[in-house]
């Protein structure tokens, strides 16, 4: 059995797993006397629970794996840290996914709830970065305008860098050119 959330699921499969896990969490909290409101379409968490004056902000994650790791967005982490200690993480793991029908179907799973939920840096692993290339910036636009010195019929030059078997390679020169009709 895999340990984390899968990256090889279709959008329909991910949606079915999410609906299934939110429904399981909703039933779990309603059985404890909470009023449950699904706010996932407009907030960076899934469920807002109220019981009298008490509130609880719940992030729900569903997976067909054993649930040892789940994917969190930056916004989810920031919100849960803000709401601590009136927050919770619900992981519904080991969900069965049936792909035989026209639409994916889900069943089963094991619900695990952590509340209050402390999101510690040591428990987070970076899996993605947003990298600023500078392409499209005012500086690169200026360089493109000044590239009129390059003959218009000259093909754009490629700039590639990388590493293969410990060796660095680079194709020079690096020039940003506007695409001409």
pLDDT digits (tens, 9 = 90+) for 10-20: 999 999 999 99
pTM: 0.71
Alpha-carbon gap, residue 51 to 174, rounded angstroms: 61
Looking at every residue in the chain, the average pLDDT score rounds to 83
Query: pLDDT of 80-131, one tens digit each?
Result: 999 999 999 999 999 999 999 999 999 999 999 999 999 999 999 998 888 9
| Number of other CB atoms surrounding residue 91 within 10 Å | 25
Reported confidence tier of residue 149, pLDDT bands at 50, 70, 90: low
Minimal CA–CA distance to 100: which of 6, 2, 13, 4?
Answer: 13
User: Which pLDDT score is estimated for 1?
Assistant: 45
């Amino acid at each position: 059995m895999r340990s984390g959330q899968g990256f090889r699921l279709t959008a329909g499969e991910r949606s079915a797993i999410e609906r299934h896990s939110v429904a399981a969490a909703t039933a779990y909290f309603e059985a404890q006397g909470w009023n449950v409101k699904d706010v996932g379409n407009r907030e960076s968490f899934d469920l807002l629970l109220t019981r009298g004056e008490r509130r609880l902000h719940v992030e729900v994650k569903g997976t067909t794996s054993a649930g040892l790791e789940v994917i969190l967005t930056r916004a989810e982490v920031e919100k849960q840290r803000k709401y601590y200690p009136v927050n919770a993480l619900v992981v519904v793991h080991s969900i069965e996914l049936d792909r035989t029908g026209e639409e994916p179907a889900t069943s089963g799973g094991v619900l695990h709830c952590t509340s209050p939920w402390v999101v510690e840096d040591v428990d987070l692993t970076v899996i993605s970065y947003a990298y600023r290339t500078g392409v499209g910036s005012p500086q690169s636009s200026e360089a493109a305008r000044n590239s009129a010195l390059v003959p218009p019929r000259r093909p754009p030059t490629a700039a590639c860098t990388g590493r293969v078997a410990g060796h660095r390679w680079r194709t020079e020169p690096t020039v940003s050119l506007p695409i001409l009709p």
